[in-house]
Amino acid sequence: MSFSLNESEKSMLLRTARESIESRLAGRSPQYGEPTDNIMEPCGAFVTLRIQEDLRGCIGHIIARTPLFEAIQELARSSAFQDPRFPPLSQDELSGVDIEISVLTPLRAIDSPEEVKVGVHGVYIELEGRSGVLLPQVPLEQGWGREQFLRHLCLKAGLHSDCISDPRRRLFVFEAIIFGEKE
């Protein structure tokens, strides 16, 4: 991964994510710091919210659409208020939320599932008009090996659990800079 973030930039992105959520809950305009040129580079990213280790929201863009600084603002709000798996975050929950950010490298097509390195690669699959993605930290958090990781990827895409063996599937990997408030 050639893109990097220094500790100050990571802190700024985490503050930006929290401010984006807090300001929405308070009904006020957000107050963001001045971004560095580096975090104004377009990058794919995910914002994950947890309360006591339990997932509370996770939304992202695999493909770079906007500058990272702007993407984090949008994704933090989306994770808090628009993840269809959860009700919108409440003011009462805010103090217990831990924010994690994953900044992604561009997707790289691979031919074989054997190329997937657990704990290093996130994986994206496309087949039959469906797609799914799992971040690199997911198999480590769940204690999965490569086969379980890829089975769960297939299921997340709404496909059969052994879709990885379908010759029509398209498989991509990416890496991520992962950091959070708990660090």
Overall pTM > 0.95: no
- Tell whether 52 is covered by a domain: yes
pLDDT of residue 3: 79
Please give the distance of CA 177 from its chain centroid, rounded to a whole number: 10
Residue 128: which domain range? 108-175
Distance CA 153, CA 172 (A): 12
pLDDT digits (tens, 9 = 90+) for 136-163: 999 999 999 999 999 999 999 999 999 9
Last residue of a domain, one of 79, 104, 129: 104
1 has a pLDDT exceeding 80:
no
Retrieve residue 42's tokens.
């377009």
CATH number at residue 163: 3.30.1490.150
CATH number at residue 98: 3.30.700.20
pLDDT digits (tens, 9 = 90+) for 121-132: 999 999 999 999
Looking at the fold, whether 35 and 73 belong to one and the same domain comes out as yes
